[in-house]
Amino acid sequence: MKILLVGEYRDGRLLNSTYELVGFAEQVGGDTVMLLVGSETQLPLYSGTLYLADATVCGEYNPDMHKRLILEVVQKENPDYIVFLHSSYGWDLAPRVAAALGAAQLSEVIALADGGFEVGCCSAKMRRTIKPLTNRAVITIQAGAFAAVQSEGGFDLHKVSAEGAGRVSFLAYEPAEERAVDLAKAEVIIAVGRGVGKKENMPVISALAKAMGGELGASRPVVDAEWVAHSQQIGTTGQTVSPKLYVACGISGAIQHLAGMKKSEFVVAINRDKDAPIGEVADVLVVADVMQFVPALTARLSN
């Protein structure tokens, strides 16, 4: 078994998520090689064969070019699996590589399963076991699902490069928006989800936050709908928090949301759906209508 790991690099930095690929490969077992489009000044703590392309030449986001680099390494190494993070880099590139190779693609793998791989489905409420029907497979792994593994052994470095340009041109990065409140420091967070219903219901949640002395956080749809400021979003594309108490009001518990709050010490979730995946991380799941339960709890706390 040979596994090609495609590392991640952004804005001049090697991303730590790269090491989760190594953790995945250790669980599968087999030899690994790594390809990184990055820089010699930011080499990974990895032992094995490392193919390195220069990001200043090949671009940090240049899918046509990166695809060609990967295919070149695939030709040399003949890997059984080609593995990416399921990230803005990985989900963009993996299907291109799979299509070029006519290989099966398995997206957002969370675990190895009997006879295949486990993936989430139905907004993380359910799981599937899937397996490739081709000899070679392209796999993306869920961020955070496999423990990061670093090794000091040193590597055998091969420099690679690709010719030509790509059709997609990268123009610039835009930094994340300024944060009015640093939720990362908050001890109590009351988070609002779409289950709160409408913007007009927000004062009910704010009142609970006030009664508990907490800050308001939110899931993404609530931010998109402008019920709260963007800086209050919690999750992969927002902030990562670890308060002593996290109260999730009408939040389903999508993986991208959980990624931002699962380190909270104590989680209370209020949801009318008993099967909502937030239940997986909640210490207490209150099956109720937020608009009935929250005001009643606020009243009790204020007494």
Partner 1 sequence: MKLLVCIKQVPDQESRFEPDAAGVWYSETDVAFRMNEYDEYAVEQAVQLRENLGEGAELTVLSIGPDRVVEVLKKALAMGCDNAAHILDNDASRKDPWQIASIISSYAEDKGFEIIFAGMQSQDRCSAQVGVTVAEHLGFACTTTIVGFEYANGMITVRRELEGGMKGVVRLPPPALVTCQLGLNVPRYPTLPNIIKAKKKEITVIPVADLLSEEALVATTGFYPPAKKCGGIVLEGDVAELVDKVFVILKEKTAVLR
Ligand X SMILES: Cc1cc2nc3c(=O)[nH]c(=O)nc-3n(C[C@H](O)[C@H](O)[C@H](O)COP(=O)(O)OP(=O)(O)OC[C@H]3O[C@@H](n4cnc5c(N)ncnc54)[C@H](O)[C@@H]3O)c2cc1C
Nearer to partner 1, 41 or 169 (CB): 169
Q: Give the DSSP letter of residue 263.
A: T
CB 269 → ligand X: shortest distance, Å? Answer: 9
**Residue from 231, 236, 264, 298 that binds ligand X (CB under 6 A)?**
236
CB 198 → partner 1: shortest distance, Å? Answer: 14
**Residue from 28, 273, 280, 295 that binds ligand X (CB under 6 A)?**
273
**Chain residues 138-157 in contact with partner 1, contact rule CB under 8 A:** 143
Using rule CB under 8 A, residue 66 touches partner 1: no
In b/e form, how buried is each residue of 263-282, taking b as 16+ CB within 10 angstroms?
A: ebeebbbbbeeeebbbbebb
* Cβ–Cβ < 8 Å for 23, 30: no
In b/e form, how buried is each residue of 82-105, taking b as 16+ CB within 10 angstroms?
A: bbbbbbebbeebbebbbeebebbb
CB 222 → ligand X: shortest distance, Å? Answer: 6
**Residue from 73, 257, 281, 285 that binds ligand X (CB under 6 A)?**
257
β-partners of residue 117 are 112, 130
d(CA 297, CA 249): 12
β-partners of residue 191 are 217, 248
User: Pattern 272-301, binding to partner 1, x per CB under 8 A?
Assistant: -xxx-x-xxxxxxxxxxx--xx--xx--xx
**Residue from 133, 152, 163, 164 that binds partner 1 (CB under 8 A)?**
133
Using rule CB under 8 A, residue 134 touches partner 1: yes
Nearer to ligand X, 90 or 238 (CB): 238
Q: Of 133, 55, 145, 142, which is closest to residue 98 (Cα–Cα)? A: 133
Out of ligand X, partner 1, none, what residue 103 binds, judged by CB under 5 to 8 A for its kind, is partner 1
Written as six digits, the tokens of 40 are: 């010699």
Nearer to ligand X, 267 or 270 (CB): 270
